[in-house]
Structure 1
């Protein structure tokens, strides 16, 4: 289950350097603290974008989350948020107007070569503890003086400077965790019939296990995301995945359906806590123009895991019982859990700087040493507002957020509806057994994989547009893939609807499943990337609102899926979905033509 929400907290300053992105010169120190403060601002309102006079050569530049441009005005309602232009902040400067900056190093890190690293920050001060070369800046925050620490160029503790293969290994761990959580979402559905029979419970009560899991994923991120940002990544990943894994013991041994429903609620809670941080973890390690590929892989894994589970779960249920569906998943989590505990690092660069500041305070007795995160982290109230109240407000008031939220919610509803319709088609219409009837999900996996591969064409086109100095890149450049790829969703639904008759070969509906998944992948990718580029610093709230709509609809659809397809007729029910999908597939075309006008009217959309 994917719950990607960008980070709510202050990011690192410039990758590999404390200087702001696009700094005009490295000959004089530029305030990395003020830059970090600008980047940490939560809930900033931007001036409404001015629509271009001509659409010619106006397609694609996203203003990404790490943009150094300061907020144009302050939303006074966002208490606790940071604003670099606030009168509370003063970057102390010398008579030349340059920030009062310095460098500090100590112990085994003292080396003559340090003199050539960021020399514009002045003389190097040595201390009696092991301290990598660290940059300092003197600031005044609310009348109190601080010495803020920043990474020097090439600092090995800065996650942006980690070896590319090391970053890939971390991304692989995150993707495996997402895969196992996705598998847990839907593997449960394959054992509902036998579980309800064994526990003497009505089938609809068994479906509540899907509802409770998804409703947790819908609501929990709205409240928990800010808390996750306060304690670092590793603690949350390790703790949540440990609890997630232990819950399978209870699911495998449960004696009544009510216990299972409650445990599924907790399973969704701990499962979503891990995945909501993945986007922020990529922000920690990758520069903006390098994030598209790891995020594309993450989207593929999230969808793939959700649709792949019934392939094997039906065979497990048929062979050794529904309890072993849960037991095997719990056992499979153990190796990954050990890797997370003993190999996975803390990816928040601010955590390393926080430890350095603490060590300096203890060694020198100077309480002014802090990391930017120590004084920049928005208040819990501001982060809760951004992740919940503001998220719902944007979902209701922003046409872009609502339209893409509705589109991605429809796709998630289709995924969970097909947990019911595929057994109807292949078990009831074609007489397949429980295990074999899960094999058509392979077609969904193939479609998802083809969507991920085809999405590379979208990424290449976007990269070319960004590299072209004659093209103004706007968020609409993210929609090419959606315009060409997402139309496969209704096409697949039409194919599936009218080939699931018992007298038609099973090949027809099996083929129809592939374009459905192909289209869903492009809907996911375009929703997240376009929303992030449209709203910049407010994208966290926008995507949280879309996630609420998506997981809520995914939660309720299993409750009526069987009745819907049996009472309406599986062919006509599929036709209704196909018609809805056709209408919604117009969204990227409408946004491509009129998106700039909607952004111009928005108080939260970024300027282009």
Structure 2
């Protein structure tokens, strides 16, 4: 370049060697073997399953907590609320930090913290201890739920990501469905404290797997380590990565990362409305944790274990929809070919447009078959279309956000996770009162109409999404980020990636450094 750039160790140099991935580079996560990429995908998906399981398993015996600590039922429900609030707080920090330090260190440290703070929950002597430690666990456990979307973007190319994203998307919904099932029988047999010991066992297993078997997947972090190694070996401080060319101090850069999810949430219509839709769905899921005990335990007199069995159709619906993902991905690949390898992000909305109706249908069935004297089959099987719709909608939403903001995928998903978690936390506290005041049938009908109104969102973006993204300051612009090659002397044997351009305009450099990770 014509002017000197700030390089590592505070030195300046006009000629530098830009470190990027060569074509077919074995250190590029996208070039790892499919078997290994699938192993990583399943480990992080299993981690999300455990996190979701931990959020719901305690709903099986809220009454036991209330009686032991002599507190109200609402006070006992706060242990669920603070955990889910943590899901909303943590992502706003962990997502941007993962784009500075990499994914692996965030996974390992936060999961370790979560494992540690499950223990005081299991041995708590006061309700305050339980609430505080559950809040810490919620914040710590939020990291895997936030980072998985970015991890999948690190590993898989656009045309490959459909099925892996489906595997991840199933986990946050199967976990809450399985939690009350296992927790119901476990609490009946051993009491509410074992609901925490089972969390400890599951969480420890996934912490070991993700900490000791999953390597770093974030490209800028991998390249930074390569550049540091070359500087040490050669003594030449000209070996740099794109991220290291940013002249701003660390405090200013971390500030940008911390603010970015909020910018996406409140400045981007796509992020805001998709997040709103996912919040409604997430709220419905947590409402079920309160509504099912009302319908099956309070009204029909079932035990906690039997009530847990009623969640099976939801899990079956999620699994069935996940099994459909290869067909959905095959259709997407056909659209990729049709658009010469560059389909618009709105093609990801087609499954959402088709499946959004399953949620209100299931809720209407649940509402009007939940009378006390009617057989359990109706409200139980109503969970099947709901679970089937959940995974299609969630998977489409994740893919749409990643394709629309793929150079900032983790932050876009963090924004979605934030708003949906706060809504999910709030609904737990008023669901019981809503059912008491509106009646079982009309309370569920209200939820059905709410989900029906949200069906308009994917149709709006399918029609107007391209125009909205074109006017967006943050949306991914594809080839518009590519500029002419610079006069930099490249490291021998390391070809310049045309999708990782050197930007002279420092205002755009921040988005470029994230874009390198998710081309």
State TM-score, norm by structure 1: 0.73
Contact 1:407/1:523 (8 A) holds in 2: no
* Candidates 528, 550, 559, aligned match of 2:420: 550
Query: For the structure 1 residues 214 and 89, does the alpha-carbon distance in structure 2 shift closer, same or farther, using more than 3 Å as the test?
Result: farther
Write the mapping of 1:149-168 to structure 2, written as runs, cut at 5 A: 149-168=19-38
Equivalent residue pairs, number? 473
* Candidates 291, 299, 322, aligned match of 2:161: 291
SS at 2:20 equivalent = strand
- Show CA shifts across 1:202-244 (max 9, x none): 1111111111111111122112322233323222222221221
* Candidates 598, 603, 608, aligned match of 2:468: 598
Contact 1:220/1:272 (8 A) holds in 2: yes
Contact 1:214/1:268 (8 A) holds in 2: yes
Contact 2:351/2:396 (8 A) holds in 1: yes
* Candidates 169, 173, 177, aligned match of 2:39: 169
Partner in structure 2 of residue 570 of structure 1: 440
Gap runs ≥5 in structure 1? 1-85, 91-140
Partner in structure 2 of residue 587 of structure 1: 457
SS at 2:19 equivalent = strand
Structure showing greater radius of gyration is: 1
Output the CA distance in 2 between the equivalents of 1:87 and 1:178: 48
Report the alpha carbon displacement of residue 386 of structure 1 after superposing the two structures with TM. 4.7
Query: For the structure 1 residues 342 and 544, does the alpha-carbon distance in structure 2 shift closer, same or farther, using more than 3 Å as the test?
Result: closer
Contact 1:494/1:574 (8 A) holds in 2: yes
SS at 2:294 equivalent = helix
Report the alpha carbon displacement of residue 452 of structure 1 after superposing the two structures with TM. 1.7
Greater shift in the superposed pair: 145-154 or 584-593: 145-154
* Candidates 232, 252, 257, aligned match of 1:381: 252
Partner in structure 2 of residue 516 of structure 1: 386
**1:218 to 2:58 alignment:** no
- Show CA shifts across 1:450-483 (max 9, x none): 2222343332222101112579732221122111
SS at 1:156 equivalent = coil
- Show CA shifts across 1:429-451 (max 9, x none): 22211111111111110111122
- Show CA shifts across 1:125-161 (max 9, x none): xxxxxxxxxxxxxxxx976443233344444333233
State TM-score, norm by structure 2: 0.84
Partner in structure 1 of residue 375 of structure 2: 505
Query: For the structure 1 residues 87 and 225, does the alpha-carbon distance in structure 2 shift closer, same or farther, using more than 3 Å as the test?
Result: farther
* Candidates 195, 201, 220, aligned match of 1:325: 195
**1:411 to 2:281 alignment:** yes
Output the CA distance in 2 between the equivalents of 1:365 and 1:472: 42
Question: Which has more helix, going by share of residues?
Answer: 2
* Candidates 249, 258, 265, aligned match of 2:135: 265
Contact 1:234/1:345 (8 A) holds in 2: yes
Greater shift in the superposed pair: 450-459 or 409-418: 450-459
Partner in structure 1 of residue 293 of structure 2: 423
Gap runs ≥5 in structure 2? 6-10, 479-519
Contact 2:265/2:272 (8 A) holds in 1: yes
**1:526 to 2:396 alignment:** yes
- Show CA shifts across 1:299-347 (max 9, x none): 1112211222000101111111100110122123333333333322222
Question: Which has more strand, going by share of residues?
Answer: 1
Query: For the structure 1 residues 426 and 348, does the alpha-carbon distance in structure 2 shift closer, same or farther, using more than 3 Å as the test?
Result: same
